[in-house]
Each structure stands twice: as structure tokens, then as C-alpha cells.
Amino acid sequence: MSGLKLRGVRKSYGNVQVLKGIDLDIDSKEFVVFVGPSGCGKSTLLRMIAGLEDITDGDIAIGGRRVNDVDPSKRGIAMVFQSYALYPHMTVRENMGFALKFAGVPKAEIEKQVQEAAKILELQPLLERRPKELSGGQRQRVAIGRAIVRHPQVFLFDEPLSNLDAELRVHMRIEIAKLHKELQTTIIYVTHDQVEAMTLADKIVVLRGGEIAQVGTPLKLYDDPDNLFVAGFIGSPKMNFLKGQLENERVVLPEYGNISFPASVSASAPQEVTVGIRPDAFDAGGSEQLPLKVEIVEHLGNETYAYGRLGSGELLTIATDNDRQVKPGDDFVARFNPSSLLLFSEDGQRIR
């Protein structure tokens, strides 16, 4: 039993409301990622779970126990910091065993725990080193090791990979995913990188401006976003957004020569909508077509992205099914099926 329950959690600094009432359930052994742009409150929320920030209002329960006023060390959590926060004057062994020393664990047991964690993280040859003698990835592993030895119910990760270079980040991402499989504990992970969120999470919590924009599995958020923000935030390259009008079960795109196609929803009165279509939703065999002039082409090897527009319209990103012949300046017809479009109302909510 190591799930979390957040009920009406708020945080204010003076008059500034950072978190505006968060309700969230996290199941035991779940890998949950808080994702959102900077300033959305995701780190603050994590720090409140950790007990490093006071809770202005609301309740946080870990494993069925309300922890609002429980000391951070007694909440059954362990945290990995963005800066690693290793004790610089201690060796790797001392860093990992430090918490146990104060928990009254006997020396032999500490040594056993440290060895065990070192084995999982392949840190054994480094146990006598100090943090400054380690590379970024090794420091990261020590920070994780320091968390593991405490056998927490919940691991908290605060942007743990953002100080690593791109290659190492991918590597550590896989390490963390493996670790979750091995340890079978609840993990809450904060990141601003939607790729990390998509690849690691069982459940993604998208935060925006101190509120939850949507909660769901990675594919649910990708395929079925609740609002414009989630649609634009999840997925790379970004979803295309076009101005359109919805009238009589048809969508009209005024910037694209008033072409129209059937909509999956109907509106009683004509209304302005935003039409969303993912770059990879364009399909050479689609029933509808958008004529474009290609401006930029990106060859990634396995995929070719064409960026084009019609007249003064929005610049669209199109995954071309790796059409390597397309060149800037070409006329290009992007085809799609109306069923792959998402419609959003003027206030940014999905129209289903």
C-alpha cells in the first residue's frame, strides 16, 4: 500500500497562487510523471509531497496516511534532486549510507544495503570515490543509490536528467525504467521534457498554471487530448493547429481556400474552432487534401518532415512517409482523413 491521494492541494506564496487545487490519485507501484512548462508548479507539487514545502491548503496522503504535518524523513519517500545534492565531502559509500546511520541501522546492515544498491546501479568500483571524482551520470546513479538504500514507498525524481548530455539522458532514461521494473515501487517523476514523460510514465499528469490540464496514459494523452494545451504539449513535432469554422457537421478552413470536409461532431450554430492534426496523421491515401507550398524540409533518415503553408496560412508540419524527393519550393498536396482531426472550441476545450 504505497499509493498517494492528493485532495484540494493548494500552495500560495503571499498573494501568488502557485497551485490552485490539485486532486490526484496515484496507485501503488505506478510510474507517474508530472510534466508541464516551467512555472506550472510541477516541482512545487513534488516538493510538497516530499515535505520540503508547506501545504497551504488541502491534504496529501501517502499509503493511506495523511502526511501534511509529518517530517520529510518519516513520509516513506526518497528524493533524487536535479543537482544530485550529494554530500561533496563524503565518499560514494558514505553518501549512500548516511541516512541509515541516523535511522539507527547497525553498521553491518548499512554496509549490506549499500553493497546491494551499488550492485543494482553498478557503482561497486566507485564506492571510495568522492562526488567530484565522478562523471555526471555516475553522480546521478549515486543520488539514486542514496534513495534506494532507504527502501522508500515512493521515489521522487525532480528533473533528474536535465543536467546530463543528450546521449546520457537517453541511457539514464532506460536505466530508470529498468529500475522501476526491478524495485516495484511508486515513482513520481517531474520533467519539462515530454519525451521523457511519454517514454517513462504509466500515467502522465500535465500541469499548466498550477492546475491539472489532463491525467492519463501517454497514448491516451497523445491520441485523445482534452484540450488545446495538452494537444500541443504532447507529441513531437508539435500538432498542427488551423483556424476553422464548424457549421452543419462540416469544417471549413477559410485560410485554405474555404475547403471543407465532414466533421465528426455537429454544432447547432456556426462556431469558430481550432482544427488540430498531428504531422504523422497526414496520409497519402487520405480522402481530403490540402494544397501547400513547401518552405523547409528536414531529413531525419527514417522520416522526412516538410514544412509548408498555403498563402498566408499557418505553417504546417507534415510527416511525408519518408518522401525523400520533396524539396523546398515544391507544390505539395497533403492528404488526410477527416477522422484523424481533433476539434477544439474557442476556449481551448476539445469538442467531442
What does the binding site for another protein look like in residue numbers (CB under 8 A)? 50-52, 71-74, 77-79, 81-83, 85-89, 91, 98-99, 102-103, 128, 146, 150
* The C-alpha cell that represents 47 in the structure block: 516538493
Residue 72's Cβ-side half-sphere holds a number of Cα atoms within 13 Å equal to 15
Question: Nearest-CA neighbor of 22 among 38, 36, 11?
Answer: 11
Which of residues 128 and 331 has its CB atom nearest to another protein in the complex?
A: 128
For residue 78, the minimal CB distance to another protein (Å) is 7
Which of residues 17 and 91 has its CB atom nearest to another protein in the complex?
A: 91
For residue 54, the minimal CB distance to another protein (Å) is 11
* The C-alpha cell that represents 86 in the structure block: 550529494
* The C-alpha cell that represents 206 in the structure block: 500535465
The residue type found at 181 is K
For residue 65, the minimal CB distance to another protein (Å) is 17
Report how far apart the first and last C-alpha atoms of the chain are (Å, whole number).
Answer: 37
For residue 81, the minimal CB distance to another protein (Å) is 4
Which of residues 52 and 120 has its CB atom nearest to another protein in the complex?
A: 52
For residue 205, the minimal CB distance to another protein (Å) is 22
Question: Distance between CA 189 and CA 140 in Å, rounded?
Answer: 14
Question: Distance between CA 3 and CA 340 in Å, rounded?
Answer: 36
The residue type found at 209 is G
For residue 91, the minimal CB distance to another protein (Å) is 7
CB atoms within 10 A of CB 179: 19
Output phi, psi for 42, to 5 deg: -65, -40
CB atoms within 10 A of CB 345: 16
Q: What is the DSSP string of 237-280?
A: SPPEEEEEEEETTEEEEGGGTTEEEE-SS--SS-EEEEEEE-GG
For residue 16, the minimal CB distance to another protein (Å) is 17
Which of residues 75 and 180 has its CB atom nearest to another protein in the complex?
A: 75
For residue 131, the minimal CB distance to another protein (Å) is 10
Which of residues 33 and 50 has its CB atom nearest to another protein in the complex?
A: 50
Which of residues 102 and 181 has its CB atom nearest to another protein in the complex?
A: 102
Q: Is there a contact between 267 and 246 (Cβ–Cβ < 8 Å)?
A: yes
Which of residues 192 and 350 has its CB atom nearest to another protein in the complex?
A: 192
Which of residues 71 and 347 has its CB atom nearest to another protein in the complex?
A: 71
Which of residues 89 and 327 has its CB atom nearest to another protein in the complex?
A: 89
Q: Is there a contact between 70 and 54 (Cβ–Cβ < 8 Å)?
A: no
Question: Nearest-CA neighbor of 221 among 278, 166, 175?
Answer: 278
Question: At 173, which helix (H) or strand (E)?
Answer: helix 166-183
For residue 273, the minimal CB distance to another protein (Å) is 45
Using DSSP's 3-state secondary structure scheme, residue 84 falls into coil
